[in-house]
């Protein structure tokens, strides 16, 4: 990581923006269980295991400050950390354990009242507390957050979503809003840049945009919810940079959640099957959709084209597969019987044809996303991995718009509750994989 000079930090402060850099790490065993609706026929094996990619940033809590690693999560709205007495079987110590007795500014607000759970069935229970929270050198006094005393080894979370997703019984001022109300940032907005799949770092910019992090136009579309970052996905196509081909996988508007706390992208089963068929993917009951290395190389010019009310985001196949590891021992390569390394698709079926579609990290890495919370709008552009010097511009709340962004033409063409499965020209019950479907045929070996 390039060192940030004092001058650049002062420049950011004067512009009323705050940049929080974070690191990407991979932890084994992260998964989200997926079940098909009763009576739904399919020849596919649903993936049951995936490595969990975490985007974690450092913050400090307490007086004197204690350091913690927290996962950046747009899909939730609460900050919470682990108590030193949390019963998490030792899995949480890597994220930091809070010693309440060591902080002179700590206050327990609601003992036993904190409880939160997530889509992967992970949870954290404990107390609602308040203390000084420090984000990138900026102090937030008396910030409310959750202190977990019982959890199932979920990473500590910095939820930056809308207040409607807060786990508290009564709405409170969460971390991003505190930064704005305290005058530390000029607008109640932020921009998310996850960076390339191979990169280890990304950034969250409160109160502004960085023009060096995207290419092409920045366009704005409305959220279709006032409590979470749901937007409208109008169409999804499979395309090629060199071949004149377009395979439609989705052509009816659907509601999708932009969620940085989810590693994979969750699409309707029939859309997932269409992608698998077009790219001739194999199946493994443990690792889901996989492909040998040589075949992946043959598809390097392929990409998915997401259309969100006219905003086009291209996701290269290079951003959609990662090496498959067995996790036993950690980082052992999973291979085909012929020795070819297996690569796993970072897309999975959601098990529900009309709801709970999630555009997770495997989509968000290809997009630059600006979240305008008070106006319930999101601006998107194609992410750039050029590494150019940053070009930060603050977002002026008085202008009621993101600098340089234009609204989509079909502003009113938002999600409607139409069953997606009825409009895809593909019948999943007759789906067959090429060259063959199989279950549990990967060899676990670390040999090259």
CB 262 within 8 A of CB 361: yes
Q: What are phi and psi of 346, to 5 degrees?
A: -90, 35
Q: Checking DSSP bridges between strand 79-87 and strand 97-98, what pairing results, if any?
A: parallel
- As a whole number of angstroms, the distance between CA 416 and CA 162 comes to 22
Helix ranges (DSSP H) in 223-370: 269-278, 293-298, 361-364
CA distances from residue 66 to 73, 101, 103, 356 in whole angstroms, order as listed? 21, 12, 9, 37
Q: Which residues contact 344 (CB under 8 A, 6 or more apart)?
A: 47, 50, 287, 288, 289, 290, 321, 322, 323, 324
- DSSP-derived 3-state class of residue 267: strand
Supply the Cα-derived Rg of the chain in whole angstroms.
22
Q: Checking DSSP bridges between strand 342-345 and strand 66-73, what pairing results, if any?
A: unpaired
Q: Which of 210, 259, 284, 372 is catalytic?
A: 259
CB 140 within 8 A of CB 182: yes
- As a whole number of angstroms, the distance between CA 239 and CA 19 comes to 35
CA distances from residue 74 to 42, 60, 359, 395, 423 in whole angstroms, order as listed? 32, 20, 11, 19, 30
Q: Is 73 a catalytic residue?
A: yes
- 186: DSSP letter: S
Residue among 183, 124, 192, 127 at smallest CA distance from 161: 192
What is the set of active-site residues?
A: 73, 259
């Amino acid at each position: 990581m390039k060192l940030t000079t004092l001058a650049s930090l002062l420049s950011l402060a004067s512009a009323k923006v705050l940049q929080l850099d974070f690191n990407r790490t991979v932890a084994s065993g992260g998964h989200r269980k997926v079940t098909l609706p009763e009576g739904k026929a399919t020849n596919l094996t649903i993936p049951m295991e995936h490595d969990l990619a975490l985007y974690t940033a450092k913050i400090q809590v307490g007086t004197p400050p204690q350091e913690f690693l927290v996962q950046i999560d747009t899909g939730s709205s609460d900050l919470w950390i682990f108590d030193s007495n949390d019963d998490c079987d030792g899995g949480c110590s890597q994220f930091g354990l809070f010693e309440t007795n060591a902080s002179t500014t700590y206050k327990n607000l609601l003992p036993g009242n904190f409880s939160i759970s997530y889509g992967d069935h992970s949870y954290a229970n404990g107390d609602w507390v308040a203390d000084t929270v420090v984000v990138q050198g900026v102090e937030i006094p008396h910030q409310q957050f959750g202190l977990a005393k019982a959890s199932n080894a979920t990473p500590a979370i910095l939820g930056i979503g809308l207040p409607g997703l807060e786990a508290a019984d009564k709405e409170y001022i969460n971390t991003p809003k505190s930064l704005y109300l305290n005058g530390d940032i000029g607008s109640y907005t932020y921009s998310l840049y996850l960076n390339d799949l191979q990169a280890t770092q990304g950034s969250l910019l409160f109160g502004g945009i960085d023009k060096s992090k995207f290419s092409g136009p920045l366009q704005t579309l409305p959220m279709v919810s006032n409590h979470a970052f749901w937007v409208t996905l109008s169409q999804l196509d499979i395309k090629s940079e060199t071949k004149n081909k377009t395979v439609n996988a989705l052509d009816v508007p659907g509601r999708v959640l932009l969620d940085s706390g989810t590693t994979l992208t969750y699409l309707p089963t029939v859309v997932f099957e269409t992608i698998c068929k077009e790219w001739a993917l194999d199946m493994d009951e443990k690792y889901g959709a996989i492909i040998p290395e040589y075949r992946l190389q043959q598809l390097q010019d392929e990409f998915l084209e997401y259309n969100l009310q006219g905003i086009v985001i291209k996701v290269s196949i290079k951003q959609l597969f990662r090496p498959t590891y067995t996790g036993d021992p950690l980082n052992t390569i999973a291979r085909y019987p012929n020795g070819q390394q297996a690569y796993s698709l970072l897309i999975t079926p959601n098990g529900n044809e009309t709801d709970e579609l999630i555009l997770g990290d495997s989509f968000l890495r290809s997009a630059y996303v600006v979240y305008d919370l008070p106006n319930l709008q999101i601006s998107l552009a194609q992410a750039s991995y050029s590494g150019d010097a940053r070009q930060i511009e603050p977002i002026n709340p008085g202008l009621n718009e993101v600098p340089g962004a234009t609204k989509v033409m079909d502003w009113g063409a938002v999600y409607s509750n139409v069953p997606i499965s009825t409009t895809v020209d593909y019948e999943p019950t007759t789906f067959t994989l090429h060259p063959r479907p199989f279950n549990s045929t990967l060899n676990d070996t670390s040999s090259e």
